[in-house]
Amino acid sequence: MSRYSRDQTIRVKVGNVIIGGSDHVVIQSMTNTSTHDVNATLLQIKALQAAGAEIVRVAVPDKVALEALPAIVKKSPVPIVADIHFDSALALGAIEAGVAKVRINPGNIGSEAKVREIIRLAKKHATAIRIGINSGSIGGDHDQLVKTSLDVLSKYIEWFKSERFDQLVISMKSSNTLETIKMNKQIAKHYRYPLHIGVTESGVGDAAIVHSSIGIGHLLLKGIGNTIRVSLPGDPVKEIPVAREILQAVGLIREGVRLIACPSCGRTQINTEKFAKLVTEKLKDIQTPIKVAIMGCVVNGPGEAKGATYALCGGKKEGLIFAHGQQVRKVPNEDLVTALLEVIDADLKTTKEEPK
Amino acid sequence: MSRYSRDQTIRVKVGNVIIGGSDHVVIQSMTNTSTHDVNATLLQIKALQAAGAEIVRVAVPDKVALEALPAIVKKSPVPIVADIHFDSALALGAIEAGVAKVRINPGNIGSEAKVREIIRLAKKHATAIRIGINSGSIGGDHDQLVKTSLDVLSKYIEWFKSERFDQLVISMKSSNTLETIKMNKQIAKHYRYPLHIGVTESGVGDAAIVHSSIGIGHLLLKGIGNTIRVSLPGDPVKEIPVAREILQAVGLIREGVRLIACPSCGRTQINTEKFAKLVTEKLKDIQTPIKVAIMGCVVNGPGEAKGATYALCGGKKEGLIFAHGQQVRKVPNEDLVTALLEVIDADLKTTKEEPK
């Protein structure tokens, strides 16, 4: 049984975005507006794109949503994926409406014949298809679930193969993180299709972030996954910074600010949390890959400062500012943030103005 | 080169807690109060324990902190670890004061002779020692760092070996998640000492949670790690639920409530985020391992409900309550939370009252 890593997968064209076949992992999300409301949906799609989403999915639960699709597709700045359940006519309509991809669960769309009808129309329109199976939509015993899901998946894939359709993305999600990991490892062992990964219904607040980070992060570190969605309840725009941070943590993107802050301890001379939040906010629009360290004391401070692009390090009364490993200023602790921001600002300006 | 998994490590006794040699991964944290202030420190230690910390570390930066140690050790409900830098006299004093473990970085404590003095006294008092090295305290080129850190560590370990001291825990942390993972994999390849794992100075807010979850989660999934610390800036008590959630995600603890909620989409009939937060808050004290699903619609809802202990599922106007996979009530959407809590409450009471 061979194993297909991320960059060995088939390239699937989703509008102007490629999923698969390279190390660029695509961030995507899904609107939670009513798709009937074209303006609200477009507004959210634009907010998602501004945050960093490259593909956005919309639910198409009925005919009214279907009728809204052409306007959404036309005005969206990113490729649109239609999420369809139960009604194959909606999938056919979405393809005609010009979506870049449809997501279906072949198990709930009616019949093999109906799935094949969708495949043929998608082929004609060069529309990609995602087979999206959630363990929740299969149900049953957890122990048996991984095997059952894979058996079901392999049956569906045969339909696509016999239609000579390869613009296929696979997702197999569970609200159980370990199960999600196991299922995706198995899929990557057997198939060359790119994988869409995520932990579904992952919970609320920090718990959701923990589960998504571990599930997605572990698979990416194993070389598995071509596009990711972090599922959080509420405003989907919140999902994007988490997705970006996951990619940054596993070394798959290097842009933007990586801020590190020591957890405060009985040795800390400054309020590192307050400082870090302030600096994060001030630097949020910077795209240059820099590492900024906010250090509370002299134990790890100077060492960490050497590894960071910029650093501030609290002292007894006065603290230090470092740039590129060198100490550049010494100021009272209360002026550290201002001094750090001045140093970064001046330095990034200089870098920009340098002739290439 | 053999590989030592979690349960093949040496058992290290830290007061009444064992680190290593079993699948029970110990959650720990560190106070951020001034150790001079015995009452404030004890208050925080108790809050950490109530949240689920089994071991707590306190910074001992000076003689006044050292003098506070006996009172802290005596009244603490959990074993205390003294965090010492630069001054070996503080480490010796902490051992005399009765701490269960001292954490030192042998590279900053003065000399090999001074480290050996600490080892001998620790042996006499049956005090455990953690060698804690942060990449920040070594500094220098990132590419070279993993190798350098391991070379340094192996030198230190030789000192402990020649003193025939094996009550040793190792930690090697970096603010770079990938580096942390690489270093710990290497250590687990070479040594049977239990590993304390965490990503240090991991950032603020969601970013810190993402980095800690991936770093710690990935290592635990690889069978590496005997005790964990999630480093977050600010109140350390916030670290504990994140640590517990990490252990739950990787399948290492099963107690308490696992709440899953679908991310809302254009198909959702209820405010899943609001419902989920409300239910999470109401169930926070339950220790019985149950899975509660808050589902917005009929696509994944009923399937997921089958896999959950309890579930609510929004409908057009009326929604459904499930218990143990069976539909038990149908109520208007606005009454779903109350109905769910009633069902859980009644059910858990029945379970408790059942004779064994």
Q: Is the ipTM of this complex over 0.90?
A: no
Cα four-point dihedral sign B241, B338, B260, B309: positive
Q: How confident is the model at residue A58 (pLDDT cuts 50, 70, 90)?
A: very high
Cα–Cα distances in Å, from A51 out to A259, B18, B159? 18, 45, 51
Out of B206, B236, B246, name the one closest to residue A214 (CB). B246
Order of all β-strands in the sheet with A310-313: A257-261, A290-295, A310-313, A318-323, A326-332
pLDDT at residue B272 greater than cutoff 50: yes
Q: How confident is the model at residue B273 (pLDDT cuts 50, 70, 90)?
A: confident
pLDDT at residue B353 greater than cutoff 70: no
How far B2 CA sits from the closest chain A CA (Å)? 21
Residues B102-117 have pLDDT tens digits of 999 999 999 999 999 9
Residues B79-109 have pLDDT tens digits of 999 999 999 999 999 999 999 999 999 999 9
How is chain A split into domains, by residue range? 6-249, 257-351
Beta pairing class for B318-323 and B310-313: antiparallel
Partner-chain contact A204 B277, CB within 8 Å = yes
Q: Are A169 and B254 in contact (CB under 8 A)?
A: no
How far A250 CA sits from the closest chain B CA (Å)? 6
Out of A134, A142, A250, name the one closest to residue B214 (CB). A250
The dihedrals phi and psi of A20, each to the nearest 5 degrees, come to 100, 165
Residues B292-301 have pLDDT tens digits of 999 888 777 7
What count of other Cβ atoms lies within 10 Å of the Cβ of residue B63?
A: 12
Cα distance between residue B155 and residue B298, in whole Å: 61
Which tokens go with A113?
A: 């014949």
Identify the residue whose tokens are 């094949």.
A116
Compute the mean pLDDT over every residue in chain B, rounded to the nearest whole number.
90
Reported for A268-273, long-range contacts at CB under 8 A and 24+ positions apart, including other chains, are: A268/A296, A268/A297, A268/A314, A268/B32, A269/A296, A269/A297, A269/A314, A269/A315, A269/A316, A269/A319, A269/A333, A270/A296, A270/A314, A270/A319, A270/A333, A270/A336, A272/A296, A272/A314, A272/B233, A273/B204, A273/B233, A273/B234
Task: Find which of A64, A265, A290 to mutate to test the B interface (most B CBs within 10 Å of its CB).
Answer: A265
How far A258 CA sits from the closest chain B CA (Å)? 8
How far A25 CA sits from the closest chain B CA (Å)? 17
Cα–Cα distances in Å, from B99 out to A299, B19, B56, B66, B68? 21, 15, 11, 11, 12
> What's the start-to-end Cα distance of chain A, in Å?
49
Cα distance between residue B94 and residue B141, in whole Å: 34
B139 interaction partners in chain A (CB closer than 8 Å): 302-304, 306-307
Superfamily of domain B257-351, CATH level 4: Sulfite Reductase Hemoprotein, domain 1 (3.30.413.10)
pLDDT for residue B142: 64
pLDDT at residue A139 greater than cutoff 60: no
Compute the mean pLDDT over every residue in chain A, rounded to the nearest whole number.
90
pLDDT at residue B354 greater than cutoff 50: no
A206 interaction partners in chain B (CB closer than 8 Å): 209, 241-242, 245
Cα distance between residue A318 and residue A269, in whole Å: 10
Cα–Cα distances in Å, from A133 out to A161, A170, B268, B303? 18, 8, 18, 11
Q: How confident is the model at residue A280 (pLDDT cuts 50, 70, 90)?
A: confident
Residues B40-57 have pLDDT tens digits of 999 999 999 999 999 999
> Residues of B152-177 as b/e, b for ≥16 C-beta within 10 angstroms?
bbeebbebbeeeebebbbbbbbbbbb
Beta pairing class for B12-14 and B17-19: antiparallel
Cα distance between residue A336 and residue A342, in whole Å: 10
Residues B171-196 have pLDDT tens digits of 998 888 999 999 999 999 999 999 99
pLDDT for residue A141: 59
Cα distance between residue B104 and residue B170, in whole Å: 10
Q: How confident is the model at residue A211 (pLDDT cuts 50, 70, 90)?
A: very high
Smallest CA-to-CA distance from A251 within B243, B180, B270 is with B180
Which neighbouring-strand residues pair with B168?
Answer: B129
Partner-chain contact B137 A299, CB within 8 Å = yes
> What mean pLDDT do residues A181-201 have?
93
pLDDT at residue B351 greater than cutoff 70: no
Partner-chain contact A201 B175, CB within 8 Å = no
Residues B137-165 have pLDDT tens digits of 454 556 677 888 899 999 999 999 999 99
Partner-chain contact B263 A201, CB within 8 Å = yes
Out of A245, A264, A304, name the one closest to residue B210 (CB). A245
| Secondary structure of residue B257 in the 3-state scheme | strand
Partner-chain contact B139 A304, CB within 8 Å = yes
How far A41 CA sits from the closest chain B CA (Å)? 9
pLDDT for residue A343: 94
Residues A22-53 have pLDDT tens digits of 778 999 999 999 999 999 999 999 999 999 99
Contacts of A240 (CB under 8 A, 6+ apart): A27, A29, A48, A51, A52, A53, A230
Cα–Cα distances in Å, from A57 out to A136, A166, A245, B266? 19, 20, 21, 10
> What mean pLDDT do residues A318-334 have?
92
Query: Regarding the domain delimited by A6-249, which CATH topology (the fold level of the hierarchy) does it fall under?
Result: TIM Barrel (3.20.20)
B201 interaction partners in chain A (CB closer than 8 Å): 260-263, 293, 295, 300, 304
Out of A200, A260, A306, name the one closest to residue B175 (CB). A260
Which neighbouring-strand residues pair with B258?
Answer: B291
Q: How confident is the model at residue A137 (pLDDT cuts 50, 70, 90)?
A: very low
Partner-chain contact B61 A272, CB within 8 Å = no
Q: Least CA distance to B281: which residue of chain A?
A: A204
Reported for B280-287, long-range contacts at CB under 8 A and 24+ positions apart, including other chains, are: B280/A204, B280/A205, B282/B341, B283/B257, B283/B259, B283/B341, B283/B344, B284/B257, B286/B256, B286/B257, B286/B348, B287/B255, B287/B256
Q: How confident is the model at residue B136 (pLDDT cuts 50, 70, 90)?
A: low
Q: Are B217 and A274 in contact (CB under 8 A)?
A: no
Residues A69-128 have pLDDT tens digits of 999 999 999 999 999 999 999 999 999 999 999 999 999 999 999 999 999 999 999 999
pLDDT for residue A354: 47
Residues B194-214 have pLDDT tens digits of 999 999 877 778 999 999 999
The dihedrals phi and psi of A307, each to the nearest 5 degrees, come to -85, -10
The dihedrals phi and psi of A216, each to the nearest 5 degrees, come to -70, -45
Out of B206, B232, B266, name the one closest to residue A61 (CB). B266
How far A9 CA sits from the closest chain B CA (Å)? 23
Cα distance between residue B137 and residue B173, in whole Å: 10
